[in-house]
Structure 1
Amino acid sequence: MRKALVVAALLLSAPLTLAGPALAAKCGNNAAGFPAWLASFKREAVASGISSRTVEAALGGMTYNTKVIRLDRNQKSFKLSFEQFLARRAPPSTIAIGKRRMKQHEVVLDRVERKYGVPKEVIVSIWGLESGFGGFMGDIPIFSSLSALAYDCRRSAFFTNELMSALRIADRGQMRISEMKGAWAGEIGQTQFLASSYERFAVDFDGDGRPNLIRSPADVFASTANFLRQHGWQKGGDWSPGSSNYAVLRDWNRAEVYRRTIAHFATELTK
Structure 2
Amino acid sequence: MTHAALPPEIWLHIAQCLDDQYIQRREHRLHEVSSVFLQVALDRRYRALKVTDITQQSIHRIERLADPAIACRVRSLTLAPHLNTNRARGGVAGHGAAMTIFGGLVGALLRPSGPQTQQSACVFEDWLKVIVRVLPLLSSLDTFGLHTDTLDTTKLDIQPLVTCAWQASCAHVTDLRLQASLPGFATLLRTSPYLPHLERLKLTFIHANQPAPDAEDALLAYVAPFVNRHADRLGALRVHFWTYL
State if a TM-score over 0.5 links the two structures: no
TM-score normalised to structure 2 length? 0.23
Structure with the larger strand share: 2
Structure with the larger helix share: 1
**RCO higher in structure (CA 8 A, sep ≥6):** 1
| Larger-Rg structure | 2
